[in-house]
Amino acid sequence: MTENSSYSKGVDAFPHFYVGINSLAELATKEDRVCVLNILGSESRGVTPTSHVYSGGNIVCGTMPGRSGSVLKTKIGDIPVYNNVTEALEAGHQFNVAVVYVPPSGVKDAVIEAVRVNPAINKVIILTEKVALSDARIIRQYGQRHNVDVFGANCLGIADAHQHVRIGGALGGSSPEESLVPGSIAIFSNSGNFTTTMATYILTAGWGTTISYSSGKDVYIHFAAAEFTHAFHNDDRSKAALMYIEPGGYYEHDLEFKKPVVACVVGRWKDKLTRACGHAGAMAGSGDNAGEKERWFMNKLGVNDIYSPENPVHSAKGAVVTNIAHLPEALTAVMKANGVEPDFEPKGNLSLKPWLGNNQDIALPSNLDIDLVEAISPYKEQLELLTKQLGIALPRQTMKDASGASMMDPKTQVSKLYGVSVLDAALHTYEDNLVMSLVQKYPDENGRALANLALNAFVNQHNTPALMAAEASREAGNSPNTVLSSSMAILGPKTAETARKAVRILLNLFKGSELVNPSETSFDFSKQLSAVLADDEAKAVLVSSEGDQCGQMIFDAARNGGAKSVFLDFLEELAKQSGAKLEGQIVLAAITCHLGWRELVHKRLSMTTMINMPWHFRIFSSIIGTSVAVNRQDKESFCGVSNLELMTSWSFTETAYLALLGKRPDKEALFAFSVLLGLIVTNGPGTISAQGAKGAVSADGPEVPERVQLNKAYVGFLTHTGYAHGGNGFEAIEFLLHRFKESGLNEPGNDKHGLDLSAMALEYAKEYKAYKTKAKAEGNLSYAKIPCVNHPVFKDKDVNYDPREVFVNDLFKKRGAYNIFLEFYHELVQALFKTGVSKKVYCVNVDAVIAVILLKILWKPYADGEISERALETAAFTTFLYGRTIGETAEIEDHLNRGRNMDTRTAASKCSSVN
Amino acid sequence: MQITGMLWGSKLLNYVGFPTSEVLGAEAKTDQIKDMIDRWGTIFIKPIFKGGVGKKGKAGLIGKASDLATAMKEKERLYFVEHRHGNAFAKAEGVTFESAIPAQYEIYASISDNTRFRAPTLTITHHGGMDIEELPPDKIATIPFDALTGFKGFVVNNALNKINAPNEIISPLVQNLPKLWDLFHSYGMATLELNPIRMMVNERGRLVPVACDFKCMFDTDDPKWKRLDLPDDLDTSSYSDFELEVNQLRTYQGQSDVFVINELGSITAMTFGGGANALVTELLGDKGTISSDFGGNPPYQKMFEISRIVYKHWLKQTNVLFIIGGKANNTDIYETFRGMANALREYFNTHGPQPLYVVVGRGGPNLVRGLAYMKDTLDALGIPYRMFGHDSAMSGVVNYAIDIDNWMSQGGKEIIAKQMGIN
């Protein structure tokens, strides 16, 4: 109807503009030959090969500027690529269809050029989204002048299920046969996705398709509803049509149907919108909104309401739905009114069928707790493979300065490990935190008992090379971290080789079983037992004719302690049935399997971490064990406590205390010690100790995780601590020692100490002020600072507090515990303010808390002359190493599971040279 | 992007030499206003609504003054005036002072792409100055023209003859109206409307068309209008921070269209495909926080960024995170799900756990890999979920999400929070 366009005459039914297609059977034919423009673009690369194969090889060539001579590989042969259409024609290719994947700014020119140089082109299919309206106008007119049917833009092309041809986009996705089943229904859709979705939906009512056509929903739809309807009438294969219509535009206003049609008109809600969301052309005025369009179709189809299962309004002419889920039923009803039966037996149904689900132990109301349903093929098989996969596999990424395990909140300065703040970690025992560092959750009581057993069983290092190495290192005058590095270096992969093999076997045996909670010993493991009894190789790893003393001891201790574990029961039964015995390493493997199993099944842990756990456990035991001198360990006992007693009645926290201070702590000391260890768990991935651990993992190459030497990662952590990081806790102790040395203090936990802390603090503040003034006058700006007061974040108020110190102080106060050293610190910050050393009242920071707790524990032996100042320093540093082991274990496993090879390196371009 | 009113309209029309009324902004000094009154006798004072809203005249929102005192009083009245028309609500941000053009004829003229003709089309009447919808069809000419040759004088001539327009206005309009094509086509407009154009007698006694009101809508997919260098905040009033943030990611591969439905909603739907967008938003109604379309095969990084923004703005108030689409043709389910899952993991890492239920309904390439990745992530985060394939009706899945949302609103959220260890 364009007044001045110079179009040529096409199909008679359209006297005012050019349309070349007379029947839907001509839309996508076996004879069509295709050239794909921008064939090697990311979209086309994925879609074009599938179209080519599905259509039996209808794509003769493609273009891509600068890529002449390349090919696009497909299963049925390569598609040659040229710089431009002219070059393709010169190479002898003939084609009548141009499929356009060019980015939006180039679409108009690409179409013009292709049509200009190849007069044989009669169809152009534009997939590109967001083509400018000003370009669409030109494309329209240019196509009209050159007798070309244009499809799109922003469409997904055409597929003909009968002819097995798909041209243009990706209708039917990567498996077109699944949706494009030959039948008698033609589909016209403004939505590309719903073209396929509708084809899939009507299968459930036994209907297949002739043509599936995605028109796009830009302002310009070149081959629109009118052209489709005309061609539908002329296509004998198509008995009915489905039309999916969005608001905006008058394309459907004047349609007249000669065959049944079911229209799905959507978008009433879009009336509320003031701009396009989704399809650019789906913005409606008052006359072309969804409500109006519903009325248009109802009038055409002779119905007075929208079809729904409750109100199945339809006529022989058709029906109008507003929900695509109602299409299959409406279509069947309309066709029945015409005496037409479905094309084939219904395939599936549209009821709710969850393929995957997990309530995460939450009791959902029964109507919401829908049972999982087997997926349709081929997804069923793919999902089966998936469910057999144990544990999580995390995507790898550069983990330099990044962590999935720890983080520090910059506002509160409180660090977290797996979401647990150090303040909360401080309320858990050492063994709890060690387990959490690997499993990411705290163990229950049964798990804790098993963990204590496994950790204490291997703590005695008598006669081990690791202890020898540590001793030699100690003798040489090394710091505690260096001493422990020496012993860690000895604990290579062979240390836990058998245990790791055993874990692998146990996981494979129980994979795919119903076992979720290994504490529930009613689980029937007969299937797993038969499997391993029939597998000599696996059996030889799990049991042996001799076993060892340790294995039996742990086992007996577990039994006597009432610990429950499916894995231990399984081993016991296996040993019994095969007349063999257990080794300590195997029992350790069973315990670590027990601790991690639930999280593994719930895909929170990886197989890698599970297999590594026994090695970590051996390292935990050795860190405590080798920090104790040779002369305090013998075959039967550790620090004077028998191995059996340790296993049966000591927690690992108590053992660590014993290693450090030579005695079993009382309740208060144990609590204080746990708090101490918990507070220093982590300070985020940026700390030097974390960097050391992560660097060691990165250098071994986490992409092949089985090659990474865990012990070396601990060496990395340990060597990245030192007198300035970890050892500096002693500075505060030393400071306090000097303040209290001559005070006659006997019991720092007794508030009746008789000392005037306020006066002591004031005296020191004055002394410090004089020292500072003198130093400044002398130009010495690196004068000594008072340790553990003030903080770069908590410093701006008149009276400042470090929230972490406040938390711990409150904690102890609530327990009625008194600490003279902490009280002194509180007096000191006031005194520094009163004397003018500070302009505001400094906070007492969290490092002070660590120092005062430790000094309170050590004061008595120090005052009694049992331990030297040097031993105090060693104890302070070692305590830090014990606690920080928790955080670094988590960093090591996290980096191992997520990191890339050598990802902690810094690019040379980011390094600077300093003269 | 939409511009209404003569403040910016006159600037744009000046680019192509189309005569306009004289316009001063709110910052005009009293002597400038007085000078305008002295020269024109009467001036109009019109409130400025960003993005535009109709029927201002009928609502009494156009002031008229022939002296400075009245002009200033009207300025005060209209400066922050509020106006509601249909679904649109607007609050004025200033006023303009516009010269009143004496005229015998008022013309309505607009150019837009008409879907009946599938061509750019001129709509014109010499009975302008009123709502075009109120005129009988025989008084309006609607004439399509060839986009390749453009909007020519003969199109105007034919149109005006068709509606029997007075001869004296035809020649000046034939001379001036085609100038609008340059503005419309070369600067990426989707619609351009001048109403009224007042036919003023010039000093030589000839009629000159003078544009006295202006409305245009730019095509967001057309980069050409960026050349106009319009201020960024010209039409931002109708965009929320969330929408602005997502719009920055607008590139040609992958949709990233969002629209805030209800700021107090409790189901956040990550929707894929225009069709799904229509269906899901319709069924969710006010329960939905946003209406979205992320289809079109967005690459991983874009999906990750979009998800981060969506979660940042909406997750805290969300009961159900709803990932929904039909059976994708082209969108890679693995890549898009990986983006959404990783962003969710990052959100939990930085903001801590959030009591959520996730409902997924999807089909398409790499489906099982995508679902598996999401499943692993949700299991790792301890979030309960159900995932449906494309063999479940999408509307059924939407209703399931609504049922879950209802349960969560009635105490389910606390149960999930407790299980996830959230205080």
- pLDDT tens digits for range A69-103: 999 999 999 999 999 999 999 999 999 999 999 99
Of A1, A174, A221, the CB nearest to B117: A1
Tally helices (H) and strands (E) across chain B: 13, 19
Which of A19, A149, A277, A603 best tests the B interface by mutation, with the highest count of B CBs <10 A?
A: A277
**Structure tokens belonging to residue B102:** 């004496």
pLDDT at A272 over 80: no
**Which residues on neighbouring strands pair with residue B258, listed in sequence order?**
B292
**Does any domain span residue B285?**
yes
Domain that holds residue B37: 22-99
User: Hey, CA dihedral for B68, B69, B74, B77, is it positive or negative?
Assistant: positive
Our CA angle for B207, B212, B213, nearest 5°, is: 145
Yes or no, beta carbons of A141 and B221 under 8 Å apart = no
Residues A200 and A147 in one domain: no
Which ranges constitute the DSSP H helices of A440-561? Answer: 445-457, 465-475, 480-490, 497-510, 526-533, 536-542, 549-560
Q: Are A185 and A202 in contact (CB under 8 A)?
A: yes
Residues A172 and A89 in one domain: no
Of B221, B274, B371, the CB nearest to A104: B221
- pLDDT tens digits for range A766-786: 999 999 999 988 888 788 889
Yes or no, beta carbons of A220 and B259 under 8 Å apart = no
pLDDT at A362 over 50: yes
CATH code, domain carrying A261:
3.40.50.261
Which of chain A's residues have a Cβ under 8 Å away from the Cβ of B397? 352
Query: Which residue from B minimizes the CA distance to A439?
Result: B380
Residues A242 and A195 in one domain: yes
Domain that holds residue A55: 32-153
Residues B200 and B335 in one domain: no
- The rounded mean pLDDT for chain A is 92
**Does any domain span residue B2?**
no
| Residue A300 to residue A485: CA distance in whole angstroms | 85
Q: Distance, in angstroms, between B326 CA and closest chain A CA?
A: 6
**Does any domain span residue B199?**
yes
**Does any domain span residue B343?**
yes
Yes or no, beta carbons of B223 and A105 under 8 Å apart = yes
Q: Where are the beta strands (DSSP E) in B342-400?
A: 357-363, 385-388
User: Judged by CB atoms within 8 Å, which residues 6-35 of B form the interface with A?
Assistant: none
Residues A141 and A166 in one domain: no
- Residue-level pLDDT at A164: 96
Q: Distance, in angstroms, between A382 CA and closest chain B CA?
A: 7
Number of domains into which chain B is organized:
3
Residues B35 and B71 in one domain: yes
Counting Cα atoms < 13 Å in the Cβ hemisphere of A738 gives 9
Which of chain B's residues have a Cβ under 8 Å away from the Cβ of A133? 113, 188, 190, 219, 221-222
- Residue-level pLDDT at A273: 59
B159 three-class SS: helix
Q: What is the percent of chain A with per-residue pLDDT over 90, rounded to a whole number?
A: 76
**Structure tokens belonging to residue A593:** 């399997």
Residues B277 and B322 in one domain: yes
DSSP string covering A777-825: HTT-TTPPPPTTB--SSS-SSSB---HHHHHHHHHHHHTT---HHHHHH
- List all residues 6 or more positions away from A615 whose beta carbon is below 8 Å from its beta carbon: A491, A493, A495, A496, A499, A500, A710, A711
Residues A518 and A664 in one domain: yes
CA-to-CA dists, residue B232 to A543, A790, B1, B239, B306, angstroms:
75, 46, 10, 12, 22
Residues A628 and A547 in one domain: yes
Burial B360-393, CB ≥16 within 10 A → b, else e: bbbbbbbbbbbbbbbbbbbbbbbbbbbbbbbbbb
Residues A462 and A338 in one domain: no
- pLDDT tens digits for range B381-423: 889 999 999 888 888 899 999 999 999 999 999 999 998 888 6
Beta pairing class for B320-327 and B43-47: unpaired
- pLDDT tens digits for range A849-898: 888 998 998 898 888 888 888 888 899 899 999 999 999 999 999 999 99
**Does any domain span residue B247?**
yes
Of B274, B296, B396, the CB nearest to A217: B274
Tally helices (H) and strands (E) across chain A: 33, 20
Residues B47 and B138 in one domain: no
For residue B309, the surrounding DSSP H or E stretch is helix B300-314
Q: Distance, in angstroms, between B184 CA and closest chain A CA?
A: 9
- pLDDT tens digits for range A161-215: 999 999 988 898 888 998 899 999 999 999 888 898 899 999 999 999 999 999 9
The answer, for B118 touching chain A at a CB cutoff of 8 Å, is yes
How remote is the C-alpha of B155 from its chain's centroid?
A: 30
**Which residues on neighbouring strands pair with residue A214, listed in sequence order?**
A157, A189
Yes or no, beta carbons of B385 and A352 under 8 Å apart = no
**Structure tokens belonging to residue B367:** 């489906």
**Does any domain span residue A709?**
no
Residues B393 and B247 in one domain: yes
Average pLDDT over residues A312-328: 95
**Residue A282: band (very low, low, confident or very high) from pLDDT cuts 50, 70, 90:** low
Residues B87 and B130 in one domain: no
Which of chain B's residues have a Cβ under 8 Å away from the Cβ of A142? 148
Which of chain A's residues have a Cβ under 8 Å away from the Cβ of B350? 407
How many CB atoms sit inside 10 A of residue B241's CB? 11
Block residue for tokens 């919808």:
B133
Yes or no, beta carbons of B145 and A376 under 8 Å apart = no
**Does any domain span residue A711?**
no
- Residue-level pLDDT at B205: 87
Q: What is the percent of chain A with per-residue pLDDT over 70, rounded to a whole number?
A: 97
Block residue for tokens 């005459």:
A9
Residues B68 and B133 in one domain: no
Q: Where are the beta strands (DSSP E) in B342-392?
A: 357-363, 385-388
**Which residues on neighbouring strands pair with residue B89, listed in sequence order?**
B84
- Residue-level pLDDT at B58: 65
Residues in chain B, pLDDT under 50: 252
Our CA angle for A148, A153, A157, nearest 5°, is: 75
Residues B328 and B394 in one domain: yes
Yes or no, beta carbons of B379 and A322 under 8 Å apart = no
Which of B75, B99, B123 is where one domain is finished?
B99
**Does any domain span residue A870?**
no
**Residue A3: band (very low, low, confident or very high) from pLDDT cuts 50, 70, 90:** very low
How many CB atoms sit inside 10 A of residue A472's CB? 14
CATH code, domain carrying B251:
3.40.50.261
Q: pTM to 2 decimals? A: 0.66
Which of A137, A217, A269, A349 best tests the B interface by mutation, with the highest count of B CBs <10 A?
A: A269
**Residue A104: band (very low, low, confident or very high) from pLDDT cuts 50, 70, 90:** very high
Yes or no, beta carbons of B365 and A173 under 8 Å apart = yes
**Does any domain span residue B142?**
yes
Of B113, B293, B348, the CB nearest to A220: B113
For residue A785, with 0-12 CB atoms within 10 Å meaning exposed, 13-18 middle and 19 or more buried, which class applies?
Answer: exposed
**Does any domain span residue A888?**
no
How many CB atoms sit inside 10 A of residue B226's CB? 12
Q: Are A581 and A588 in contact (CB under 8 A)?
A: no
- Residue-level pLDDT at A472: 98
**Does any domain span residue B234?**
no
Residues B385 and B295 in one domain: yes
**Does any domain span residue A529?**
yes
Number of domains into which chain A is organized:
5
- Residue-level pLDDT at A5: 46
Residues A147 and A174 in one domain: no
Residues B256 and B326 in one domain: yes
CA dihedral angle for residue A833, residue A839, residue A844, residue A845, rounded to 10 degrees:
-160
**Does any domain span residue A854?**
no
DSSP string covering A159-223: EETTTTEEESS-TTTT-HHHH--EEEEEEEES-HHHHHHHHHHHHTTT--EEEEEE---SS--SS
- Residue-level pLDDT at A4: 41
DSSP B177: T
Counting Cα atoms < 13 Å in the Cβ hemisphere of B103 gives 25
Which of B99, B114, B140 is where one domain is finished?
B99
Residues A559 and A594 in one domain: yes
- pLDDT tens digits for range A629-675: 999 999 999 999 999 999 999 999 999 999 999 999 999 999 999 99
Q: Distance, in angstroms, between A112 CA and closest chain B CA?
A: 12
- List all residues 6 or more positions away from A381 whose beta carbon is below 8 Å from its beta carbon: none
CATH code, domain carrying B73:
3.30.1490
**Residue A830: band (very low, low, confident or very high) from pLDDT cuts 50, 70, 90:** very high
Q: Dihedrals φ, ψ of A159, to 5°?
A: -135, 135
Residues A132 and A211 in one domain: no
- Residue-level pLDDT at A2: 43
- Interface predicted TM-score (ipTM) of this complex, two decimals: 0.85
Our CA angle for A58, A59, A62, nearest 5°, is: 170
User: Judged by CB atoms within 8 Å, which residues 68-87 of B form the interface with A?
Assistant: 87
Residues A594 and A663 in one domain: yes
- Residue-level pLDDT at B1: 78
**Residue A318: band (very low, low, confident or very high) from pLDDT cuts 50, 70, 90:** very high
Residues A169 and A304 in one domain: yes
Q: Distance, in angstroms, between B98 CA and closest chain A CA?
A: 28
CATH code, domain carrying A57:
3.40.50.720
**Does any domain span residue B6?**
no
Which of chain B's residues have a Cβ under 8 Å away from the Cβ of A379? 367-368, 389
Residues B281 and B379 in one domain: yes
Residues B109 and B78 in one domain: no
